[in-house]
Amino acid sequence: MCKDCGCQEANQKMRHGLSQGHAHGIEHEHVVNGQVIRHSHAPRVIDLGLSVLAKNDKIAAENRLWFEKNGTRVFNLISSPGSGKTLLLEKTVQELGPDFKWAIITGDQEKDYDAQRLKRAGANVLQLNTASACHLDASMIHKERDHFITPGLECLVIENVGNLVCPAAFDLGEKEKIAFLSCTEGEDKPTKYPQLFHEAGLIVLTKMDLVPHLDWNLSLCEEHIRRVNPHAPILHVSARTGMGVKTWAHYLRTGTVELNK
Ligand SMILES: Nc1nc2c(ncn2[C@@H]2O[C@H](COP(=O)(O)OP(=O)(O)OP(=O)(O)O)[C@@H](O)[C@H]2O)c(=O)[nH]1
Ligand SMILES: [Mg+2]
C-alpha cells in the first residue's frame, strides 16, 4: 500500500522520485506487477491558514483590550526591509525626551542589531526573534504583557519584521498600523502590496533626502497610495536631515498629525 496516499494495489513499488513522498492532487505512478500505473487523487484541502489567523485575532483582541485599559497607545510599524524604521526611531528618542514613557519592541528573524542601535540611542527596547516566521504574532506580544510591556506605558512602538506582506495579516492588538515606504523602493508598491497600505492609519515616506538623486516621482507615489487609502495622512521624513522628525514624534505622543512641526 502507498503509505502517503493509501492506494491499495498489492506488490507495488513506489516511484515517487527523490523526495520519497508526493503531494496529493499531483499525478504520480506506482509499478504494479511490472506495469506502470499513473494516477492522481483529489487534493485534501485543510484550511490551516484561516484557523491560524482566527487564533491570532483572538489573542490580538485580548491584547487590544489590555492596552486600552492601561492607556498604552500601540503602533505597529510595517515596511519592506531597510526602509529606515530603526534610524527614524533612533532619532525619535531625543525628540520625545526623557519624560515620555514609551518603549520599542523590534522584530527580526535573527540577531539583535536593531535593539543594540536603539539602546545606544537611549531607548527602552526589547528584541524579539521570529526564527522561521516572517512576522510577529499576537502571542509574542501577549507574552510581554506585565513583563517588558509594563502598565502605565504611554506608547509602545512595535517595529515588525521587514516584510510588506505577512505582517499586514497578523493583528498584534495595536491601535494602528503605520506603513513605511522609502523613495528608493519605487512609486508603485502601495498598489502592488495593497493590504498594508489600505489598513495603515499613517503612511510615512522615508529617505526624502535621496529624492534629488532618484527618478522617483512623489505625486505618482501618492496617487498609488490614494488608490488604496484615500484618507490616511502621508508624512514625508528624512532621518538623515531631520525632516519630519518633529511631526513624527508628535504623532507618537498624541496620535495626531500636526502640520508645520
Ligand atoms: N539617506 C538616508 N538613508 C537612510 C535614511 N533612513 C535610513 N537610512 C539608511 O537606510 C538603511 C536602512 O535603515 P534602517 O533604519 O536599518 O532600516 P529598517 O527599516 O529599520 O531595516 P530593517 O529593520 O532591516 O527592516 C541604513 O543604511 C540607514 O542608514 C534616511 O532618511 N536617509
Ligand atoms: Mg530595523
Give the residues across from 203 on adjacent strands. 179, 234
Helix H or strand E segment including 171: none
What does the H/E/C string look like for 222-233?
Answer: HHHHHHHCCCCC
SS3 103: strand
Q: Which atom of ligand 1 is nearest to the CA of 239?
A: 31
Scan for cell 506605558, then name that residue: 153
Q: Determine which of 47-56, 99-108, 199-208, 210-219 has the lowest per-residue pLDDT on average.
A: 47-56
**More confident: 111 or 259:** 111
User: φ and ψ at 168, to 5 degrees?
Assistant: -70, -25
Mean pLDDT across the chain, nearest whole number? 89
Would you say the CB of residue 83 lies under 6 angstroms from ligand 1?
yes
Ligand 1 probe mutation, 78, 87, 182, 209, most atoms within 8 A of CB: 87
Confidence of residue 258 (pLDDT cuts 50, 70, 90): confident
What residues contact 201, with CB distance under 8 A and at least 6 apart? 175, 176, 177, 178, 232
What residues contact 82, with CB distance under 8 A and at least 6 apart? 162, 182
User: Which tens digits make up the pLDDT trace of 98-135?
Assistant: 999 999 999 999 999 999 999 999 999 999 999 999 99
Would you say the CB of residue 86 lies under 6 angstroms from ligand 1?
yes
Compute CA distances 41 → 15, 81, 216, whole Å: 16, 40, 50
Q: Quick one: pLDDT at residue 238?
A: 98
Q: Give mean pLDDT, residues 55-62.
A: 97
Confidence of residue 25 (pLDDT cuts 50, 70, 90): low
Q: Which three cell numbers stand for residue 160?
A: 515588525
Cα of 204 from ligand 1 centre, angstroms: 13
Pairing of strands 73-78, 102-108: unpaired
Compute CA distances 138 → 35, 74, 172, 173, 211, whole Å: 53, 13, 4, 7, 36
Ligand 1 probe mutation, 77, 80, 86, most atoms within 8 A of CB: 86
Distance (Å, rounded) from C-alpha 144 to C-alpha 150? Answer: 8
Would you say the CB of residue 210 lies under 6 angstroms from ligand 1?
yes
Would you say the CB of residue 112 lies under 6 angstroms from ligand 1?
no
Helix H or strand E segment including 183: none
Cα of 148 from ligand 2 centre, angstroms: 19
Distance (Å, rounded) from C-alpha 220 to C-alpha 261? Answer: 25
Residues with beta carbon < 5 A to ion ligand 2?
85-86, 114
**More confident: 26 or 35:** 35
Cα of 196 from ligand 2 centre, angstroms: 18
Q: Which atom of ligand 1 is nearest to the CA of 180?
A: 19
Q: Quick one: pLDDT at residue 28?
A: 66
What percentage of the chain reaches a pLDDT higher than 70? 83
CATH number of 57-254: 3.40.50.300
What percentage of the chain reaches a pLDDT higher than 90? 78
Would you say the CB of residue 85 lies under 6 angstroms from ligand 1?
yes
What residue ranges of the chain are covered by domains with CATH 3.40.50.300?
A: 57-254
Would you say the CB of residue 206 lies under 6 angstroms from ligand 1?
yes
What does the H/E/C string look like for 49-81?
Answer: HHHHHHHHHHHHHHHHHHHHHHCCEEEEEECCC
Cα of 11 from ligand 2 centre, angstroms: 57
Please say if the pLDDT value at position 18 is more than 50: no
Q: What share of the chain is helix, strand, coil (3-state, %, to 5)?
A: 35, 20, 45
Q: Whose CA is nearest to atom 29 of ligand 1?
A: 87
Cα of 239 from ligand 1 centre, angstroms: 8
Cα of 173 from ligand 2 centre, angstroms: 21
User: Which tens digits make up the pLDDT trace of 143-154?
Assistant: 999 999 998 999
Distance (Å, rounded) from C-alpha 213 to C-alpha 230? Answer: 28
